Structure 1
Amino acid sequence: MPSGNLSRESTVTVTCDGLVAPRSPSDDVDSILGHIVPDEGIELLLGEPTNRCQSKRLIIAVDFGTTYSAVSFMSLAEGENAELVGSDRILSIKNFPGDSARDMNDRMRDEVPTEVIYPLNRRFRSEGEWDSLQTSQVDGPANGDEDEGPELSQTQTMDVDMTDYEEIFDEAEFRTIAQPFQWGYKVHEAWRFPDTHFDKTNQALSRFKLLLDTSQTTEAVRTQVAPTFEALAAKKIIKGPLTVIADYLTCLLRHTKSELRTRGFDDSYPVELVMCVPAIWSQKACRDMQTAMAKAMQQAQFQGVDIQNNSIENLFIVSEPEAAAAYVLATDHTIRPHDTFVLLDAGGGTVDANTYTVSQTTPLRLTSEVVEPGGGLYGSSYLNEAFQAMLLERLENETYLEHDKITLRGIVETIVLRDFEQDLKRNFDIYDTNKLAKRFVVYGLRDDRKKGFRNSCIYVKFDTIKDIFMKCLEGIESIMRNQIQTALDKGVVVDKVILIGGFAASISLQRYLRKYLDAISTYNNCHIRLVVPENQVTAVASGAVLRALNKEQGPRRLARSSYGILRTEPFMDYPEHSGLKPSYDRYDGLPCIKNTIDWVLKKGVEVHPVWRCEPFLSSHLFPCKRSTPLLCKEVLYVSDTSTESHYRESHAKNRGAEEVGAIEVDFSFLRDQGLIRPVEPDEDEQGRKVGQRHYKVEYNMIIQVVDRDLRCYAIYNNEVIKKCRINIASAFSPGAK
């Protein structure tokens, strides 16, 4: 096995550009070994450090949401000035499989549910169903127009004689009715069928984005979905949360690619991917999200992905509130210099609030966050849950409705998706003076005036529905109120509250917030206006595209993670070795400390757009065997806490450090071409040989950061033998250039 001295290894996403042997090796190769490349020659050796501009490109922004997700994009032509491109050029992906929206202009069609259903069959991937499923969903008819066979009512069952359909459907067509994996609107569509609820092998998952958030706020949700994850993991269908996220994103990106192709965009367009993340996410969560995104891009056959090292070329990460604010500044012409506004993002799961002050100059820029961000779990999906629980309670004794594959849960789920989600939730007004009860069809329901059952309908009082709404509305109002009051306590008056997200379309939410703003404005002798942008559903994804166009608005480039290299260091070269028991290298016999980490790029350091560490020497020892390849591997590590070098990887100071990538170079050509000679073992004071005959390979390493790429160079004989490019966007604050 090779042994490395002073070898450094790194942990990032790596895209290797290939191995190049020296063009004209020196007659005396040994004379250049061990020499550090002179600083004045580095720039010439490494070439132009900046990224070359693309002649044309696609900017694709993915807003992976708790309950709904969206994708926006924009194309740039050759030579086009990105700074002059307007927000009107931003488009959104639509036509999601299973989307049955009645109104083709409904903005809710710009997003898709973040939900999946797994079969309890670990072979569904290997049997080819995974790939064929995604292709059929992406390339098939959209908007529920596909021919899926007879639609079943709640009183019908799937217990039919298959021969009755022999002349209409073949077996493959029946499989399309009950596909083994579902995502997005297909999940909602599946819940309309009785067998989905009856079949216990169906494992549905939602809100799995929150598994990346380890805060106390999401603990209840993580606890709730844990049993389903455990069941799927036990069946070896998934390995963990990242598997589910990657599976969902694969479907989302495959559909995106299909839609882009219909618009004439093929693989000749280089892609810049923008990933939207919550502002409160840790660097670990951002890296995990990048890992899942890289896997999904590979499975969706996007170019520029190195799955082995989770690397994505041209990846830009931006925080969700920052992206939304960029969209607001670009589209709301009522915002003026000096204005302060609360950005209230009311989605399906979480509701987040940020308060910003606008700069004094044009173009408008955000100067600062006035108060700490706020948020809570008051999204619109909790209305669905509460409404569903109420119906189940009302119907719990009506067991006569259950027969064959019809279940009470299935009946209620159909009402929630068909009537509550599509119609009532958006149009219900808590201030409606008529206060009429709402009725929902339940076929076969027996009349019972005390329970509100009549004519196969269940009647729900106006006040009952209002109470369901009020819990979420009061929670959102408290988040908004805290932002406004905290700003006032600091002497800053809020001018506007800008409401975005899927819940923003709710009439009840809009009216409730306006009434509170009128009251607080009167009390404080000011005027705070509620603004609901026209495109509130995709404000985050659209704003992310705008931020990618103009990255100069981003925060300072402070490293939020440390990146280091695994080393074998000569014993006592550093004071950190004191008190340690050394190992003795089997080849040169010298004492050393193995598996230490040298943190080359340290957390907290400001990293300029082009940053470079000092060149360092890497040395590897090999046995004198022709059968042993001279493979030199440098392994990269990342940590969100470590900054002190020369401690072993297992030391407490490196707790939590993770391997994130590697660069490997085959130097066998040096031996095969006679460019290096075996090193004979030394003798100690007693004349005994120390170590054994071996080959020694030495080369220079340089680590450079260019924008959001970390680049590693292996240099031998003043020639770049191998170079790697690793995207470390997750090492900086979201939005940093």
Structure 2
Amino acid sequence: MNGASIVGTGAPAAGDTISSAGEGRMSISIDFGTTFSGVAYGSSRIAGGNVQQILTWPGARENFRKIPTCLLYDDAGRVLAWGLEAKNASPMPGTVRCEWFKLSLEPSALRGDIVDPRLPKLPLGKKAVDLIVDFLTCLWDYARERITQEIGIVADLNAADVWLTLPAAWDAKGCQMMREAAIQAGLVGTAFAGDRDWRDRLHIITEPEAAAVHCAHLTDLHQLRPSQNFMICDAGGGTVDLAVYKIIGSLQDLEIAEVCARSGSNCGSLFLDLRFMELVRILLEDHPVHLEPASLAHFMHAFSETEKLGYLGKSDDGNMFRFTCFNVEDSDDPSVGLINGELTIPGNMLRGEVFNPVIEQVLDLIEEQICRANQRVDALLLVGGFSGSEYLRKRVEETFGSRIEVIARPSDADTATCRGAAQYGLAHRQLVSSFIAPKSYIMRVKLPADLEDWQRRPAYITRNDAGVHICENRLQYLVSKGAILRKGQRIRTKFCKFSSSSQGDIDRMFVAMLYASDSDETMRYTDEGGMYELCKWTVDLSILPSFQHHANVPHPGGFYTHFEVGLELDSAEARGVLLDNGYECGRVAFDFLV
């Protein structure tokens, strides 16, 4: 992102760690999924501190741990139903059912690319964010009511910490849009008069990080030792997200660090449904009565509810899979598999046309993440709804079993993300505590010339306006590759700039070149190679109180402005923060790691 400029925020500097839920404060997680969503909650004062899930939903007599991420609109754009009621509604004139709209905020969609031409279009006059706001509003309004009923007291939900799960591969823009949508939907609000920090009660957590919290207390991981690594593969309806963690202390205390940048892709179980739909269209091309919307929906529902997760792969090649037709006419054509009102599809055809293309994507994604980590992976945990696929688990074991000692699907794998996010909020400390820097972040600076500079780079040495010999093109490491950083930690580095006056861009602008390096070697000068430019960071120092103070006092010989640059690094992005006496004056994101 060349030419990035820092912008003033006027906000006080954040501390060196991320705050967690206050003692006794309720923690509520919303696992907003592409195909299904769920809500979990907990408090030290409820059920012994154990996480609870909402199981009772509108339109259902049974209990469901998750409900469809689905909306039903009328022609005027009003919400008629949501969740199960929207999913199960019969087609009606003047209505439109909306699903899978979460994918419209993933990075390629925000760049203007078509995520998948098979996905339904948005209703006329609606943007993806509008649908997300509508769904979260319905979900949250019901969750507030239900939580209050289930705990038997009037809960102060306005003061709760709310944790919203997002895919690992989303960039900062998508995360910010989701955050704004959640605030608009009312997930957090003022709890008392003068509550100015109420927005801070909304937290974003990635799906694999939340799942790691749930999994780390399970016996599948307790055999691991410090310095060993485990991978979370969160295979959901729309996306598959991966992250690798290193155990750096006690696993029971969840002292783990992310080893490398997370990754993810749109290859969840939804894409099995879409490929199945394509296969049906091809087989029944000459039988249009079975390609009407209601008929196609009937076929896809039968596949999704019965065969998708139970399909076994090669051992099912010789079996015939039968799907009852919705329409009774034109019910027999054995040449395409129409036999006595059923569409019959051979197992080997399902494997080649439906399952293998998607599962191969998942396997490639896992392989790429192992290469990215560049370290041994000692355990692989499959979570998410798609992890329930027997064929997926079998293929993962066949492909990686010789290299990864433990491959397991933990208990409650389909709700690991939802439960883990709530558990994260209940802990009164940072759980996934650290991040291992995948590269070095370096800034080009001017420093007083020393003997080594005179010997190695005399051509870089000039005299500034104050008569001091300065070596240009020196490097200052903000963080080195492999450094273990605490989550939320801010690495601060002091800088100063000489200004001959307070006027003019040269005197008030601080321009820094930011570089990154994948090398383990430490370099001193910009011409040593082994690094690449991230961005040109332009900082207007006139926003600093210290600069303004000097500007109002005569300085015939010029003056120095002292300030700090803070580096914040997590597994999603690297950010620079401008500080003046500990006061945050601006920030910029200069590297996205996913």
TM bracket, shorter-chain basis: 0.5 to 0.7
Gaps of at least 5 residues in structure 1 are 1-7, 14-49, 125-129, 131-180, 522-526, 561-571, 580-596, 605-639, 649-727
Alpha carbons of structure 1 residues 311 and 55: separation in structure 2 relative to 1, 3 Å: closer
Partner residue in 1 for 2:319: 436
C-alpha deviation, 1:285, in angstroms:
2.8
Partner residue in 2 for 1:644: 539
Partner residue in 2 for 1:232: 124
C-alpha deviation, 1:221, in angstroms:
4.5
The question of 1:60 aligning with 2:60 is answered: no
Alpha carbons of structure 1 residues 729 and 538: separation in structure 2 relative to 1, 3 Å: farther
C-alpha deviation, 1:729, in angstroms:
14
Partner residue in 2 for 1:286: 175
C-alpha deviation, 1:539, in angstroms:
1.1
The question of 1:410 aligning with 2:294 is answered: yes
The question of 1:202 aligning with 2:95 is answered: yes
8 A Cα contact 2:169 2:264, kept in partner = no
Alpha carbons of structure 1 residues 100 and 499: separation in structure 2 relative to 1, 3 Å: farther
Q: Secondary structure at the match of 2:423?
A: helix
C-alpha deviation, 1:188, in angstroms:
2.4
**Pairing of 1:675-690 with structure 2 (within 5 A):** none
C-alpha deviation, 1:121, in angstroms:
0.9
In the alignment, the residues of structure 2 paired with residue 227 and residue 429 of structure 1 have an alpha-carbon distance, to the nearest angstrom, of 29
Alpha carbons of structure 1 residues 53 and 274: separation in structure 2 relative to 1, 3 Å: closer
Identity of aligned residues (%): 22
Q: Secondary structure at the match of 2:315?
A: coil
| Alignment-mate amino acid for residue 380 of structure 2 | V
| Alignment-mate amino acid for residue 259 of structure 2 | V
Partner residue in 2 for 1:266: 154
C-alpha deviation, 1:332, in angstroms:
3.5
Partner residue in 2 for 1:534: 411
Q: Secondary structure at the match of 1:551?
A: coil
**Pairing of 1:495-506 with structure 2 (within 5 A):** 495-506=378-389
Partner residue in 2 for 1:427: 310
Alpha carbons of structure 1 residues 435 and 232: separation in structure 2 relative to 1, 3 Å: same
C-alpha deviation, 1:344, in angstroms:
0.6
The question of 1:543 aligning with 2:511 is answered: no
Alpha carbons of structure 1 residues 485 and 55: separation in structure 2 relative to 1, 3 Å: closer
Partner residue in 1 for 2:143: 256
| Alignment-mate amino acid for residue 63 of structure 1 | D
8 A Cα contact 2:233 2:240, kept in partner = yes
Match of 1:214 among 92, 102, 107: 107
The question of 1:116 aligning with 2:116 is answered: no
Residue by residue, what CA displacement relative to the aligned partner does 1:608-635 show, whole Å, maximum 9, x if unpaired?
xxxxxxxxxxxxxxxxxxxxxxxxxxxx
Q: How many residues align?
A: 447
In the alignment, the residues of structure 2 paired with residue 409 and residue 114 of structure 1 have an alpha-carbon distance, to the nearest angstrom, of 20
Match of 1:189 among 68, 85, 88: 88
Alpha carbons of structure 1 residues 97 and 392: separation in structure 2 relative to 1, 3 Å: farther
In the alignment, the residues of structure 1 paired with residue 110 and residue 265 of structure 2 have an alpha-carbon distance, to the nearest angstrom, of 7
Alpha carbons of structure 1 residues 453 and 325: separation in structure 2 relative to 1, 3 Å: same
Residue by residue, what CA displacement relative to the aligned partner does 1:311-370 show, whole Å, maximum 9, x if unpaired?
535223322222211111123354322331111110111111111111243644354333
In the alignment, the residues of structure 2 paired with residue 51 and residue 434 of structure 1 have an alpha-carbon distance, to the nearest angstrom, of 53
Gaps of at least 5 residues in structure 2 are 1-6, 13-17, 434-485, 492-500, 516-534, 544-585
In the alignment, the residues of structure 2 paired with residue 421 and residue 515 of structure 1 have an alpha-carbon distance, to the nearest angstrom, of 24
Q: Secondary structure at the match of 2:216?
A: helix
Q: Secondary structure at the match of 2:413?
A: coil
8 A Cα contact 2:108 2:114, kept in partner = no
Q: Secondary structure at the match of 1:232?
A: coil
The question of 1:457 aligning with 2:342 is answered: yes
Alpha carbons of structure 1 residues 314 and 182: separation in structure 2 relative to 1, 3 Å: same
Q: Secondary structure at the match of 1:228?
A: coil
The question of 1:295 aligning with 2:295 is answered: no
| Alignment-mate amino acid for residue 103 of structure 2 | L
C-alpha deviation, 1:395, in angstroms:
2.4
In the alignment, the residues of structure 2 paired with residue 112 and residue 52 of structure 1 have an alpha-carbon distance, to the nearest angstrom, of 28
C-alpha deviation, 1:643, in angstroms:
6.0
| Alignment-mate amino acid for residue 469 of structure 1 | F
Rg comparison, structure with higher value: 1
In the alignment, the residues of structure 1 paired with residue 318 and residue 293 of structure 2 have an alpha-carbon distance, to the nearest angstrom, of 28
In the alignment, the residues of structure 2 paired with residue 289 and residue 558 of structure 1 have an alpha-carbon distance, to the nearest angstrom, of 24
| Alignment-mate amino acid for residue 121 of structure 1 | A
Partner residue in 2 for 1:552: 430
C-alpha deviation, 1:389, in angstroms:
1.6
Q: Secondary structure at the match of 2:170?
A: coil
C-alpha deviation, 1:424, in angstroms:
1.0
Q: Secondary structure at the match of 1:292?
A: helix
Q: Secondary structure at the match of 1:297?
A: coil
Partner residue in 2 for 1:331: 218
In the alignment, the residues of structure 1 paired with residue 344 and residue 71 of structure 2 have an alpha-carbon distance, to the nearest angstrom, of 31
C-alpha deviation, 1:540, in angstroms:
1.4
8 A Cα contact 1:395 1:408, kept in partner = no
Alpha carbons of structure 1 residues 318 and 550: separation in structure 2 relative to 1, 3 Å: farther
Q: Secondary structure at the match of 2:422?
A: helix
Alpha carbons of structure 1 residues 502 and 643: separation in structure 2 relative to 1, 3 Å: farther
Alpha carbons of structure 1 residues 507 and 556: separation in structure 2 relative to 1, 3 Å: closer
| Alignment-mate amino acid for residue 31 of structure 2 | D
**Pairing of 1:593-608 with structure 2 (within 5 A):** none
C-alpha deviation, 1:380, in angstroms:
0.3
Partner residue in 1 for 2:479: none
Match of 1:482 among 347, 362, 368: 368
Q: Secondary structure at the match of 1:538?
A: helix
Residue by residue, what CA displacement relative to the aligned partner does 1:34-58 show, whole Å, maximum 9, x if unpaired?
xxxxxxxxxxxxxxxx999967432
In the alignment, the residues of structure 2 paired with residue 730 and residue 260 of structure 1 have an alpha-carbon distance, to the nearest angstrom, of 39
8 A Cα contact 1:429 1:508, kept in partner = yes
C-alpha deviation, 1:552, in angstroms:
2.7
Partner residue in 1 for 2:496: none
Alpha carbons of structure 1 residues 573 and 232: separation in structure 2 relative to 1, 3 Å: farther
C-alpha deviation, 1:732, in angstroms:
13
C-alpha deviation, 1:98, in angstroms:
3.6
Alpha carbons of structure 1 residues 362 and 456: separation in structure 2 relative to 1, 3 Å: closer
Alpha carbons of structure 1 residues 281 and 458: separation in structure 2 relative to 1, 3 Å: closer
In the alignment, the residues of structure 1 paired with residue 385 and residue 170 of structure 2 have an alpha-carbon distance, to the nearest angstrom, of 21
In the alignment, the residues of structure 2 paired with residue 279 and residue 434 of structure 1 have an alpha-carbon distance, to the nearest angstrom, of 35
Where relative contact order (Cα < 8 A, 6+ residues apart) is larger, the structure is: 1
Residue by residue, what CA displacement relative to the aligned partner does 1:1-42 show, whole Å, maximum 9, x if unpaired?
xxxxxxx995889xxxxxxxxxxxxxxxxxxxxxxxxxxxxx
Q: Secondary structure at the match of 2:294?
A: helix
8 A Cα contact 1:304 1:312, kept in partner = no
| Alignment-mate amino acid for residue 124 of structure 2 | L
Q: Secondary structure at the match of 2:319?
A: coil
Alpha carbons of structure 1 residues 732 and 77: separation in structure 2 relative to 1, 3 Å: farther
Alpha carbons of structure 1 residues 533 and 310: separation in structure 2 relative to 1, 3 Å: same
The question of 1:72 aligning with 2:40 is answered: yes
Residue by residue, what CA displacement relative to the aligned partner does 1:251-289 show, whole Å, maximum 9, x if unpaired?
111221232122124243531111223344333333322
In the alignment, the residues of structure 1 paired with residue 119 and residue 197 of structure 2 have an alpha-carbon distance, to the nearest angstrom, of 26
In the alignment, the residues of structure 2 paired with residue 729 and residue 120 of structure 1 have an alpha-carbon distance, to the nearest angstrom, of 43
C-alpha deviation, 1:427, in angstroms:
1.2
Partner residue in 1 for 2:269: 380
Residue by residue, what CA displacement relative to the aligned partner does 1:396-418 show, whole Å, maximum 9, x if unpaired?
3224x37xxxx62211201211x
In the alignment, the residues of structure 2 paired with residue 422 and residue 535 of structure 1 have an alpha-carbon distance, to the nearest angstrom, of 19
| Alignment-mate amino acid for residue 488 of structure 2 | R
In the alignment, the residues of structure 1 paired with residue 285 and residue 355 of structure 2 have an alpha-carbon distance, to the nearest angstrom, of 23
TM-score, normalised with respect to structure 1: 0.53
8 A Cα contact 2:213 2:420, kept in partner = yes
In the alignment, the residues of structure 2 paired with residue 346 and residue 218 of structure 1 have an alpha-carbon distance, to the nearest angstrom, of 24
Q: Secondary structure at the match of 1:435?
A: coil
| Alignment-mate amino acid for residue 424 of structure 2 | R
Alpha carbons of structure 1 residues 95 and 353: separation in structure 2 relative to 1, 3 Å: same
C-alpha deviation, 1:67, in angstroms:
2.2
Match of 1:312 among 199, 205, 218: 199
**Pairing of 1:638-677 with structure 2 (within 5 A):** 644-645=539-540
In the alignment, the residues of structure 2 paired with residue 448 and residue 365 of structure 1 have an alpha-carbon distance, to the nearest angstrom, of 59
8 A Cα contact 2:55 2:66, kept in partner = yes
